[in-house]
Amino acid sequence: MSAPDPLPRLLGALLLATERPLTAEAVADLINQAADEEEWPARTKPTEVEAAFRALTKTWDGRDGVVLARVGGGWRLRTAPDLAVMVRRLWPDRATRLSKAALEALAVVAYRQPCTRLDVEDVRGVDCGGVLRSLLDRKLLRIVGRKDEPGRPLLYGTTPEFLETFSLPDLRALPTLRDLESMRAEEAARAQGGPPGVEPAPALPDPEDLEAVETDDPADEADEDAFGPDAAEPTDPAPADDPPDEST
């Protein structure tokens, strides 16, 4: 009788210990390094690890309160969505809601990234300096560079934490305009008592349902009028691979 495959057990241990989504490539590298040092039975390939992850989704499918989900470009154990209200009670002091202003700005960046503060303000029609600073602090947005135009304005993009927060495997999972139109049509039909429409695609949560990851209430809840058109851009440093500021 052949010995059971140790890979599923290893993946379970790694998923429990990790603080970030695991990719098949990262796990394969870890296993191969251990195999070269004779600490693991055999080398493996990313395709084999990916297949093992997919097989485990049948084990962790929510029936036991745990789901193995593909988020942020990798795999991670999550609590079952229907238990969110009870799980949230473990950290009553950490719950902070994203405001409607923050969600709107976040949606603009998600769909138009990389984009500048002015791009966001053109869509929303109000100053967004404080909201963008708040989203940077929450690590839902990051500075990805500077636009090649006078003033070299900062360019904003979403982060892996954004994907994790909204349970998205990647940005391609964002609903399309057609999806959003179908969702609005279905909501209108339900409001009028008509038959349901096409099953909607996943969308950004409603502000009333979203729980943010930080513990203190940030500036995005403040009155946006406090940040006038002359407010300074956020001063968060750009990552190392961003283009240098050539304005000086």
Give one DSSP letter per residue of 189-200, joined into a string.
HHHTT----SPP
pLDDT of amino acid 170: 87
What are the structural domains, with CATH classification, of the chain?
7-88 (1.10.10.10), 100-166+207-226 (1.10.10.10)
Flag whether the pTM goes above 0.85: no
Q: Which SS3 state, helix, strand or coil, does residue 109 take? A: helix
- Taking CB atoms within 8 Å and a gap of at least 24, the contacts of 119-125 are 120/156
Number of H helices and number of E strands within the chain?
A: 9, 4
Q: What is the pLDDT along the chain (248 residues), one digit of tens a residue?
A: 556 789 999 999 999 999 899 999 999 999 999 999 999 999 999 999 999 999 999 999 999 999 999 998 899 999 998 998 898 888 877 666 788 999 999 999 999 999 999 999 999 989 999 999 999 999 999 999 999 988 899 999 999 889 988 888 888 888 887 777 777 777 777 777 755 544 444 445 444 444 443 334 444 444 344 334 444 455 444 444 444 444 43
Q: Which SS3 state, helix, strand or coil, does residue 143 take? A: strand
- The span from the CA of 76 to the CA of 194, in Å, is 39
